[in-house]
């Protein structure tokens, strides 16, 4: 199961002195893609947190291919690496307006009970959405 975000235009504030998008922003693009995809499936982070389900990022990997610049358009392809268990493992591919690969990467999010502050299994409603 995969999803491609709507187009996003690089803002000046996202660039560094070299006029490249600063590397820290790529994790924000990953998060934006995750949230947009989950929202398209009818899944709300805010509602999950309100119900005591937290999903902290426990691992992140980025591989840069080409830079993005102010004014460039980007989209993010996001997918699940495997069915969720106690973690959700996402992979990402960032593309520019010419459909060139800019960055690839992955994140691992753990399911955490806010009440117990302990790991938990993927909630059934999420499993149902991803199956």
Mark whether 16 is an active-site residue. Answer: yes
Chain centroid to Cα 105, Å, comes to 10
Question: Beta strand pairing status for 2-4 and 118-119?
Answer: unpaired
- Who's near 63: CB < 8 A, 6+ residues apart? 103, 104, 105
Annotated catalytic residue: which of 16, 72, 99, 128?
16
Known catalytic residues are 16
């Amino acid at each position: 199961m995969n999803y491609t975000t709507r187009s996003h235009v690089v803002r000046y504030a996202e660039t560094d002195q070299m006029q490249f998008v600063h590397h820290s922003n790529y994790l924000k693009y990953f998060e934006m893609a995750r949230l947009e995809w989950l929202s398209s499936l009818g899944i709300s982070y805010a509602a999950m947190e309100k119900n005591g389900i937290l999903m902290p990022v426990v691992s992140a990997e980025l591989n840069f291919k080409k830079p993005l610049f102010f004014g460039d358009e980007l989209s993010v392809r996001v997918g699940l690496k495997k069915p969720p268990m106690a973690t959700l493992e996402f992979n990402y591919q960032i593309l520019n307006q010419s459909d060139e690969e800019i960055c690839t990467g992955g994140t691992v999010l753990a399911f955490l009970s806010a009440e117990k502050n302990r790991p938990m299994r993927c909630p059934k409603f999420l499993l149902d959405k991803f199956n």
